[in-house]
Structure formats: C-alpha cells, structure tokens
Amino acid sequence: MASRILLVEDDERIRASMRLSLEDEGYEIAEAATGEDALESHARALVSEPFDLLVVDIMLPGMDGFACCRELRRSSAVPIIMVTARTDTHDIVAGLEAGADDYVTKPFEPKELAARIRALLRRARAGEEGPVALTFGDLEIQPEAGVVRRDGEEVHLTRTEFLLLCELAANTGKVLSREQLLERVWSYDYFGDGRLVDVHIRRLRTKIELDPSEPRHVITVRGLGYKLAP
Amino acid sequence: MSGTGLLRRVHVRPKERDQSARAPRLERPRPATRPSEPRLHQRRHVGLRARITITFALGAAILSGTIAAITYFSVRSSIVTQQTTSLYREAVASAEVLRPELQLPVAAWPHLLEGASAGAREAILFRKHNWYATSPFPAPPAPLSRALRATVLSGTPASETILVRSHPTYVVGVPIPAANSAYFALFSMSEVAGTLHVLLASLLLAAVVVTLAGALLGSWAASRALRPLHEAAEAALDIASGHLDTRLETDDYADLAVLTSAFNSMADRLQDRIEREVSFTSDVNHELRSPLTTLAASLSVLEGRAEELPERSQRALALLGAEVRRFRRLVDELLEISRIDAGLSDVSMAEVPLGDLVRRSVSAGFGSVPVEFVGESAERYVSVDKRRFERILANLLQNADNYAGGATRVRVETAGRLARVAVEDEGPGIPLEERQRIFDRFSRGASGRRRGLGEGTGLGLAIATEHARILGGRVYVEENEPRGARFVVEIPLLKEAAQ
C-alpha cells in the first residue's frame, strides 16, 4: 500500500508540482495550505488512516512551520521533513529543535526530497532485529517493540530519536562519529549535516536523562562523537 | 571619575522588523586574531602619546630650569655683594687700626697684624719692601695676584676673589700711604660657596622633579586624551569585523559628544544599509527559490514521462532541463556568494584525515577522476568545513570539465604546514596574464569565451576562492606538466592527527 504523505506548503504552484512529482514516486498525497489546516488534517487522519510522513514548509502564513512542528510533536511521533528556503544555521537548528526529523533546502531536486522521504520511511519501518531488551541503569530499551522506559515509565521518542538511541545501544561503550550516525540513522553520505545529529542528541537527552545538562547515558566525546554509557 | 574612559562601546538592539521570520541575522564568528590594521594603529597611537609626553616634559624642564637659573643667579649676586661689602669695610677698619702702629719705626708687625685682623683668615702686610704674613705658607706675597699688588701699592684700594689652597678667598687690599705700607686681608668664602652649592643643588633637584612631574602629567593627559580615540578605533574595528550594532557612548565633555554622535550616525547608516542589503538578498533569495522549486519539480515530472512525448517535445524538454539546471546553479551560486559577502554563511569545522576528505569529495560528483596521494599526505589531518571543501573541489572539477575536457588527476601533497590538493587537466592551459583574472566573478578565460560553452556560470572559481579564504587557505592556478592547467587548493594542515 502506498505511503500517505501530507504536504504542507502555502505556495499553490509549488504544492501542485511537488504533488505531481511525489505521486510519480508512488506516494499518496494530501495537501494543506496552512499550519492550522495541517493540524486539522492530521488529527482527522488519525481516526481513519494516519499519515506516514509530513513535509512542512517553514514559511507559512499564520502559524509558521516551527509552531506547526511543535504542535504536532505534542501528540505524535510522525516523521517530519522540513522545507526551508534558507540555509541559515538558525532556521535549520530551530526547525530540528521544533521536532523535524530531517530537512531539505529550496530549491531542492525532487529526487533529493524523494530520497529523504524514502530514508525516513525506511527508518520508520525498521527496528525488527537485535535483542529483545537492553538495560542501561534506569533505562530499558526494547528495540523490537519500539519502547523505551525510564524507571519503568514509558518515554515517548520520535522514530529518529529512537533509532539514534538503538544505534548507540547496539554499540555500547563504543564512540560513534557524527558521520557514522548520519549514515546509519539518516542514510546521509560523508557530507551530511552534523547539526542533525547534534540537535537530535539534545532532544533525546531531554527525554531520557535525569539532568540533560549533565548527561549520564548519552555522552559527548569531544572531537570524536557520541557514545552510550550504562 | 571612574577609570574606564570617557567613551564606551555599547551594542544596540537590532531593529524590529515586520517579517521577523525573514529578519536578517548577522552572525559571523569573531576572528580569533584581529587583522593587521590594529597593530599599525597601536603603533601610531604610542607615537602620539610619546610626543605629547615629551612636549610636556620639555615644557616643564624649560620652565623650571629658567626659574632655577634666575633664582640662583640673583641669590648668588645678592649674597656675594652683601658679604664682600661687609668684608671690605672690615678690611678698611683693620687698616685704620694698623695705620698708627705702622708709622712707628719698629714694632712686632706680625703680632700686630694678627691682632688687627681677627675677622680674616689670613692677613698680609707690606711695609717698606718687606712682606709679613699671619700664616707662613704660602710665603707672601705669593697668594696675591700681581695686578692687585700693583693697584694697591700704587695707592688705590682693590679687591679680588682667588683660590688659596683651593679655598675660594676674598682678598681686600688697602694702601696705607702714610706708612708706606699696604694691608691685605684674606677672607674665606668657603661658607658662602657652600651655601651657594646647596642652593644650586636644591634648585637643580627641583627642576628635575618638575620635569618628571611634567612628563607624568603629559603621559596621563595623553592617555586620557587618546583613550576616546582608542575606544573609537576599537569600535570601528568591531563594526568592521561584523558587529554592526556597536555604538559609542559618552557621559561627559561636549567635544566627545560630537565624536560619538558623528560616529553613531555613521554606524546607524552603515548598519541600516547593510541590513537593507541583506534583507534584499534574503528577499531575492526567497522570491527566486520558490519558482525554481516549482520548475524543478515540474521538470522532473516531465522527464519521468519523457518517453510519452513526441520526439520534438523531448528535444525541447532536454533543452529546458539543461537550462533550468544551469539557472538553478546560477541562483545557488549567486546566493552563496552574497551570503559570504554579507558574512551570513555558517562554518562548521571538523578535523578529518585529508585522504578521506579528498576521496569522498571527488567521488561525490566526479568519481572517475583518479586521486593520487604523495607520501603520507592521506594520513595527515586538516580542520575544514567538509561541505565547503567539497564545493571547492567540485567547482574546480566542474571547471576542468567545462573548459579543459575534464580533470585528468587529483594530486594531494603536503608542504610544511600546508596541504595542497591539485586538480590537473590537459586542456589548453591558462595564459599567464589571465591567471589572476579568471578568479574574478563572471570572468571567463579566453578559452571559455572562445568555445562559447553554456555550462559555466562564471562564478565557480570566485566561489572556490571565497570558500578557500574562509577555510584559511587559497586557490591558485599554475602550469601542468606536460600541458594543461593545474588548479591548486591550499589549506593549512593540523599539527598532529586528531586521534
């Protein structure tokens, strides 16, 4: 069955052309012109057939893409790709912090967006191998069930955060570089954007660490990368 | 007054803009080391300061020296006049006492002499071709000058100041014609000389102290007077290094208020202008990117269904596709270069082995070009922004593709603290006179123009230059052996491997 994608973009022509090219890639597309519309469609779709992925433009009239992402993240772990017209650090980091899993910069090649979507959807379905449960101090990870518990209480992670944690857990004690994580979690090549890793690590820490400013599980190894400590 | 200076650098809040989402941000990493201008400025500053200090010290020295000289000479003349007048009178009085005795035919002259000359250190008497003295040494009339003797013996009283056994001595000669005699009294002036010495020493000391005080005052005044200048220069450098919100502030002195208001209005205008430019760039950015996104997406739909189109339409589509891609690259590069110009482009440095970096950069777009490492160069580390480096190499390889039939080899070597990555081709080469100019924006070499190739945007080499500059290196071109051109990216090596 085709994956369902919600396209949130205020420019009608961009929306129409993206719809055409993504439909050619075999996806089922729904459209929203504003952030408010997007939230409504998303909520409505939850009862019948939830979206598999959202593509959200940052510059929207009214509620902007950042606010839209944040609002979605309050209740949903649905994969989100942010579309930005700028390559400024600020917008990209702000978008990732608002909860986006990945981003593309306008004008993007449709192939590029399709590749990002494929990688993200593959990730969303992944996680069927490996041990049943891993325990790190107060942290319990069940890769297969897609569940993380801290002190027995379930922690809600997005798919990307969860995979990042699993990747670190599968290599306990070993340092994984940004490049390795980009490749394994996001399927980026050598030139991927290291900020994706940094921001997601930050978000992951706020959820699984007791004190995110003094992380005990997800440790930064200066100049090398990150590792998971029991 | 607080010692922090009369001027302060402050930062103003960025102006609120209606499109907050698109408000330009001017973030530029503060350079770790300042460019060379401040050092030049520093030197000039010290020079001026030294000059003011020297002027003050010189003024103080001339003033205090003059006062000391006037004081010394007037005091000396008054003391000496006073002293000699009274001594002269004393000598005349002594002569008066001696006169009746001298008229006697025989007497104990030396004895008499001593009695009459109680105030003098020594006395000498001349009577009828004989000399008598209270002190035998030096034998009279030795201490007396010939001129004095002659004057006095000819009947005129006279005085002189001489050195007797290296003591300053005041000599008064009084003729006593009635007894055919002359009386000479020698008074010690040592005490007066000592007093004058002390006076001179004190005055000189005072002059030196005043000169030093003048120098200190001068240096203080100079640093005080120049501090606002220094502060203004620092503020200007701050602005030059991208902190456009820097302003000057003062709370005293009207003359500084003129400087601050002039400086601040200049900074206001500059900031306004740059922000407007950046905001324009950002607007252009947005306005161009939206239609390009639509173009690219629609084009991909058409290209995906090209075989459904008639042959003529397919050919038109191919042209359209090539031009859209070129247009996209042009917009990308224009925006890239304007972002670099505005200091908006962000740098994310990472320490990576050169081998990995070059191999990955080449294989990202031009995988067929062989890469060769000289010596251990592949294992050395560099601190770079990987994506920028990739862009540099991609632009050089693209350039070789456009104008020289493609790169033949990428050769990596190290030289001292530098890594050199050379993109070699066997095309027509670049004539000497064009080797600078081809790095200018929109300037294509003669071969590029002659061939009239439509692929290049004319910005690739300019952007490569800018990226290399940001990475602390440069790009240049030289001759390739046996023919063609060799574009070299030079970036600094890290001293040691990161691990």
Domain extents in chain B: 1-28+243-346, 350-492
In this predicted structure, which of A6-10, A122-126, B7-11, B76-80 has the lowest mean pLDDT? Answer: A122-126
pLDDT bracket for residue B107 (50, 70, 90)? low
Min Cα distance B319 → chain A (Å) is: 17
- What pLDDT is stored for residue A56 in this prediction? 94
**Are A190 and B499 in contact (CB < 8 Å)?**
no
In this predicted structure, which of A124-128, B198-202, B308-312 has the lowest mean pLDDT? Answer: A124-128
Say how far apart CA B117 and CA B87 lie, in whole Å. 11
Report the residue of B20, B22, B290, B293 to disrupt the A interface, i.e. the one with the largest count of A CBs within 10 Å.
B293
Put simply, whether A222 touches B (Cβ < 8 Å) is no
Instruction: Tally the C-alpha atoms within 13 A of residue B365's C-alpha that lie toward its C-beta.
Output: 18
Mean pLDDT in residue range A116-144: 75
The number of residues in chain A equals 230
Min Cα distance B45 → chain A (Å) is: 40
Q: For residue B16, what is the DSSP state?
A: P
- What pLDDT is stored for residue B476 in this prediction? 92
Q: Contact A75/A27 with Cβ under 8 angstroms?
A: no
Question: What tokens appear for B470 in the block?
Answer: 């940001």
Min Cα distance A120 → chain B (Å) is: 20
Q: Contact A86/A104 with Cβ under 8 angstroms?
A: no
Say how far apart CA B473 and CA B450 lie, in whole Å. 31
Q: Which residues of B touch A17 (CB under 8 A)?
A: 293-295, 297-298, 301
For the segment B142-193, what is each residue's pLDDT rounded down to a tens digit? 778 888 888 888 888 888 888 877 888 888 888 888 778 888 888 888 888 8
Among candidates B441, B438, B407, B436, which has minimal Cα distance to B424? B407
**Beta pairing partners, B133:** B124
The 10 Å Cβ neighbour count of residue B240 is 14
- What pLDDT is stored for residue A87 in this prediction? 62
Say how far apart CA B91 and CA B123 lie, in whole Å. 9
A107: nearest CB among B328, B390, B498: B328
In this predicted structure, which of A169-183, B51-65, B246-260 has the lowest mean pLDDT? Answer: B246-260
In this predicted structure, which of A112-126, B161-175, B485-499 has the lowest mean pLDDT? Answer: B485-499
What's the Rg (C-alpha) of chain B? 48
Question: What tokens appear for B465 in the block?
Answer: 């230059």
Q: Spell out the residues 6+ positions from residue A225 whose beta carbon is closer than 8 angstroms to its own.
A: A175, A176, A177, A178, A180, A181
Residue with tokens 């104008």: B403
**Are B25 and A88 in contact (CB < 8 Å)?**
yes
Could you tell me the fold of the domain covering A134-228?
A: Arc Repressor Mutant, subunit A (1.10.10)
Q: Spell out the residues 6+ positions from residue B161 whose beta carbon is closer than 8 angstroms to its own.
A: B168, B169, B170, B171, B189
A107: nearest CB among B292, B301, B351: B292
- Say how many CB pairs under 8 Å bridge A and B: 91
Say how far apart CA B68 and CA B202 lie, in whole Å. 9
Q: Contact A139/A150 with Cβ under 8 angstroms?
A: yes
- What pLDDT is stored for residue A178 in this prediction? 86
pLDDT > 70? residue B35: no
Q: CA geometry: angle at B33 spanning A195 and B227, to 5°?
A: 125
Q: Spell out the residues 6+ positions from residue A60 whose beta carbon is closer than 8 angstroms to its own.
A: A8, A9, A10, A34, A35, A68
Say how far apart CA B117 and CA B97 lie, in whole Å. 9
**Beta pairing partners, A57:** A83
- What pLDDT is stored for residue A36 in this prediction? 92
pLDDT > 70? residue A181: yes
**Beta pairing partners, B248:** B9
Interface of A with B in 96-155 (CB under 8 A): 106-111
Residue with tokens 């067929």: B368
- What pLDDT is stored for residue B40 in this prediction? 44
Put simply, whether A64 touches B (Cβ < 8 Å) is yes
Put simply, whether B386 touches A (Cβ < 8 Å) is yes
pLDDT bracket for residue B31 (50, 70, 90)? very low
A24: nearest CB among B294, B301, B331: B301
pLDDT > 70? residue B252: no
- What pLDDT is stored for residue A102 in this prediction? 92
Say how far apart CA B318 and CA B185 lie, in whole Å. 131
Min Cα distance A145 → chain B (Å) is: 36
How far are the Cα atoms of A225, B17, B373, B499 from residue B379, in angstroms, in the given order?
A: 20, 49, 10, 11
Q: Which residues of A touch B287 (CB under 8 A)?
A: none
For the segment B216-246, what is each residue's pLDDT rounded down to a tens digit? 999 898 888 788 778 888 888 888 877 778 8
pLDDT bracket for residue B37 (50, 70, 90)? very low
The highest-confidence range among A77-91, B199-213, B277-291, by mean pLDDT, is: B199-213
- What pLDDT is stored for residue B350 in this prediction? 81
Residue of B117 and B205 predicted with greater confidence: B205
Say how far apart CA A13 and CA B294 lie, in whole Å. 6
Helix (H, G, I), strand (E, B) or coil at B170: strand
**Beta pairing partners, B372:** B411
- What pLDDT is stored for residue B326 in this prediction? 85
Min Cα distance A129 → chain B (Å) is: 30
The percentage of chain B sitting over the pLDDT mark of 90, rounded to a whole number, equals 22
Put simply, whether A55 touches B (Cβ < 8 Å) is no
Domain extents in chain A: 4-125, 134-228
**Are B296 and A110 in contact (CB < 8 Å)?**
yes
- What pLDDT is stored for residue B278 in this prediction? 74
The number of residues in chain B equals 499
pLDDT > 70? residue B279: yes
Strands (E), B242-373: 246-250, 350-353, 371-373
B351: nearest CB among A16, A89, A223: A223
**Are B285 and A89 in contact (CB < 8 Å)?**
no
A24: nearest CB among B304, B348, B390: B304
pLDDT bracket for residue B452 (50, 70, 90)? very low
How far are the Cα atoms of B11, B68, B73, B196 from residue B203, in angstroms, in the given order?
A: 54, 5, 11, 10
Say how far apart CA B243 and CA B238 lie, in whole Å. 6
- What pLDDT is stored for residue B27 in this prediction? 41
A191: nearest CB among B22, B300, B390: B390
Q: For residue B377, what is the DSSP state?
A: G
Mean pLDDT in residue range B395-419: 89
**Beta pairing partners, B422:** B411, B488
Say how far apart CA B185 and CA B213 lie, in whole Å. 48
For the segment A53-83, what is each residue's pLDDT rounded down to a tens digit? 999 998 888 898 999 999 998 888 899 999 9
The 10 Å Cβ neighbour count of residue A130 is 14
Domains A4-125 and A134-228 share a fold: no
Residue of A124 and B289 predicted with greater confidence: B289
Q: Pick one of 3.60.40.10, 3.30.565.10, 3.40.50.970, 3.40.980.10 as the CATH number of B350-492.
A: 3.30.565.10
pLDDT bracket for residue A86 (50, 70, 90)? low
Q: CA geometry: angle at B433 spanning B429 and B437, to 5°?
A: 90
- What pLDDT is stored for residue B224 in this prediction? 82
pLDDT bracket for residue A88 (50, 70, 90)? low
Model ipTM? 0.81
Helix (H, G, I), strand (E, B) or coil at B486: strand
Q: Spell out the residues 6+ positions from residue B408 whose beta carbon is closer than 8 angstroms to its own.
A: B369, B370, B424, B425, B426, B484
**Are A17 and B348 in contact (CB < 8 Å)?**
no
Class (C level, CATH) for A4-125: alpha beta
Instruction: Tally the C-alpha atoms within 13 A of residue B273's C-alpha that lie toward its C-beta.
Output: 6
- What pLDDT is stored for residue B310 in this prediction? 93
Q: Provide DSSP, chain A.
A: -PPEEEEE-S-HHHHHHHHHHHHHTT-EEEEESSHHHHHHHHHHHHHSS--SEEEEES--SSS-HHHHHHHHHTT----EEEEES---HHHHHHHHHTT-SEEEESSPPHHHHHHHHHHHHHHHH---SS-S-EEETTEEEETTTTEEEETTEEE---HHHHHHHHHHHHTTTS-B-HHHHHHHHH---TT--HHHHHHHHHHHHHHH-SSTTS-SSEEEETTTEEEE--
Q: Which residues of B touch A20 (CB under 8 A)?
A: 297-298, 301
